[in-house]
Amino acid sequence: MRAGIINITGYAGSELARILHSHPEVEITSVTGRSAAGQKVKDVFPHLSSLDLAITPELEGSLDIVFSALPQVASAEASIPVLNQGIKLIDISADFRLKNAGEYKEWYGVPHPDPSYLEEAVYGLPELRSKEIKSARLIANPGCYPTSAILGLAPAISEGIIEPDIIIDSKSGISGAGRSLSMTTHFSEVNENTMAYGLGGHRHLPEITQELNFLSYEKTSITFVPHLVPMTRGILSACYGKLRPSGSWNGPDAGQRIRDLYEDFYAKSAFVDITAQPPQTKQTLGNNKCLIYPTVDTRTGRLVVISCIDNLVKGAAGQAVQNMNLMCQFPENTALDALAVYP
């Protein structure tokens, strides 16, 4: 298949190129980049020297699938002409994730350029939407924070074992902010420092709420607090929910029963592992896994779930390739079997 990458010069775009390079069914034939147009990929990214392509302002040639790695708003503007040509597209930005056009305008500050595509887009979380993904032509690749949080909470929400008032506390490496310069990602601001942000409402909050409400039989109330920590890659989310007093989810063996629930829920998911101890971000470095550790605080009757991913792989480029594999009837794990780089 002939693949194009819009904005290979971003972190997600370059990571897409790295992963797709080892895909036996895909050839990258066209790449764009706003700041590096006219240069060779190998000159901008020496680690991609085997990709002998020029970076162009627009996609060129005949393509079977396109990945858009532009920021939100700009991504929709570049993606819609591709979709109008009938080409399959996977968007890594937030431009097609929210189903409600009014909510998109509220959170991103501009009207969506074509709300009809919001209805068509499939939310690309393969562990929950594989059937829809297989027949889709437009995939809204989930955000990095939502991937860790939704996967961490999905079994508990689906089974209805926790109250709808949920807290999600997430820590992310700096690469999640992209390559654009800002004071908050300056080395001297980030090094030896941890900062909370988005307390008034992070843009990933409506996405998390939308997808958890899709799984729940009642409306959830989500408190989401993200943090930047001084590392390059990785997301660790700690999710908290009060166990319901009724049912069999309390008592001395509640932890094991909940662990069994999580293992059954993800038994057929190649990229989710239920761990025997709380996972660490470094244990996902460079691979497409989500590591999940559910436990119960018996003193408070509260479910605690720790969820770890690499924000650039399972949180972006790797998940996009996983979605492509499902869309195109390739084995789901093709080009995604790399183990984490540890330590």
Answer yes or no: do 158 and 232 share one domain: yes
Residue 247 confidence (pLDDT): 66
DSSP 262-325: HHHHTTT-TTEEE-SS---GGGGTTS--EEEEEEEETTTTEEEEEEEE-TTIIIIIHHHHHHHH
Q: What is the CATH number of the domain that holds 42?
A: 3.40.50.720
* 96, 222: one domain: no
Q: Answer yes or no: do 58 and 187 share one domain.
A: no
Pair (218, 283) in one structural domain? yes
Asked if residue 46 is part of any domain, the answer here is: yes
Distance between terminal CA atoms of the chain? 35
Candidates 144, 239, 290, 308; catalytic one = 144
| Concatenated DSSP letters of 84-122 | HTT-EEEE-SSTTT-S-HHHHHHHHSS--S-THHHHH-E
**Residues 111 and 166 occupy one common structural domain:** no
Is 154 in the same domain as 253? yes
* Whether 182 and 82 share a structural domain: no
| Contact (CB, 8 A) for 186 and 134 | no
pLDDT the model gives residue 13: 97
The domain total for the chain is: 2
Query: pLDDT tens across 196-246, in order?
Result: 999 999 999 999 999 999 999 899 999 999 999 999 999 999 999 999 987
Looking up residue 160, the CATH number of its domain turns out to be 3.30.360.10
Instruction: Answer yes or no: pTM beyond 0.95.
Output: yes
One domain, residues 107 and 181:
no
The residues pairing with 45 across neighbouring beta strands, listed in sequence order, are none
Do 306 and 181 sit in the same domain of this protein?
yes
Residues of the chain with pLDDT under 50: none
- C-alpha dihedral sign at 124, 126, 132, 138: positive
108 and 6, same structural domain?
yes
Q: Looking at residue 180, what is its pLDDT?
A: 86
Question: Do 85 and 181 share a domain, yes or no?
Answer: no
Residue 137 lies in a domain: no
Query: Is 239 assigned a catalytic role?
Result: no
CA distances from 303 to 170, 222, 226, 238, 313 (A): 16, 15, 19, 10, 27
Q: Classify residue 139: in a domain, yes or no.
A: no
Residues linked to residue 237 through DSSP beta bridges, in sequence order: 170, 307
Domain that holds residue 23: 2-120
Q: What pLDDT does 250 receive?
A: 74
